[in-house]
């Protein structure tokens, strides 16, 4: 099995390991990542579970560009099973919010751009729809308007 430690280091995301890469055309790359999270906290009884239950289907998470290639991370979230209540729960990772198709750092980079560039220009250069860029702007604006987030 090839060792993707170098790509893992260059990617620089916490709690992931690169397991595969694929170049798509001249301007896209996919880096398949695997979570290194070893446990999940059961939302019902708050106990930590180390028992891996299953790995879900891979999702494509957009991340910051690498070597001027637009970058996606195929990532399959894992489920853990709580030993106490037998419920399963999805792992929480530091780099992506649940059910969101973008890494947190990608979202932050796009949000920063929305503060100085027109939405349409960002959408075009990132090949996103204007609705998505608008959505990222609104989410970011909401977060940055909370009192706790105003001090940086």
Residues contacting 15, CB < 8 A, separation 6+ = 35, 36, 37, 93, 94, 95
Q: By the criterion CB under 5 A, which residues form the site for Zn ion?
A: 42, 44-45, 82, 84-85
What is the DSSP code string of 2-37?
---HHHHHHH--TTEEEEEEEEETTTEEEEEEEE--
Q: Which is nearer to Zn ion, 38 or 44 (CB)?
A: 44
Q: Which residues on adjacent β-strands are paired with residue 81?
A: 51, 88
User: Shortest distance, CB of residue 49 to Zn ion, whole angstroms?
Assistant: 7
Q: Is the dihedral of CA 128, 134, 139, 144 positive or negative?
A: positive
User: Shortest distance, CB of residue 38 to Zn ion, whole angstroms?
Assistant: 17
Q: Which is nearer to Zn ion, 53 or 105 (CB)?
A: 53
Which helix (H) or strand (E) segment is 70 a member of? Answer: strand 69-75
User: Shortest distance, CB of residue 77 to Zn ion, whole angstroms?
Assistant: 18
User: Shortest distance, CB of residue 54 to Zn ion, whole angstroms?
Assistant: 16
Conformational region of residue 120, where left means phi above 0, alpha means psi within -120 to 50, and beta covers everything else: alpha
User: Shortest distance, CB of residue 149 to Zn ion, whole angstroms?
Assistant: 31
Q: Which is nearer to Zn ion, 47 or 149 (CB)?
A: 47
Whole-angstrom Cα distance, residue 130 to residue 137? Answer: 10
Q: Which is nearer to Zn ion, 87 or 130 (CB)?
A: 87
Q: Which is nearer to Zn ion, 44 or 117 (CB)?
A: 44
């Amino acid at each position: 099995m090839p060792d993707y430690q170098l790509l893992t280091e260059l990617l620089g995301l916490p709690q992931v390991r690169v397991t595969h890469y694929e170049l798509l055309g001249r301007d896209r790359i996919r880096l398949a990542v695997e979570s290194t999270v070893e446990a999940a906290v059961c939302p019902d009884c708050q106990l930590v579970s180390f028992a891996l239950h299953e790995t879900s289907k891979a999702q494509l998470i957009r991340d910051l560009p690498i070597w001027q290639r637009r970058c996606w991370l195929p990532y399959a979230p894992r489920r853990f099973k709580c030993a106490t209540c037998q419920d399963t729960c999805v792992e929480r990772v530091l780099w992506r919010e649940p059910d969101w198709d973008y890494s947190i750092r990608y979202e932050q980079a796009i949000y920063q751009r929305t503060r100085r560039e027109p939405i349409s220009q960002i959408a075009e250069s990132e090949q996103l729809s204007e609705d998505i860029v608008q959505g990222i702007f609104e989410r970011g604006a909401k977060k940055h308007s909370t009192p706790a987030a105003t001090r940086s």
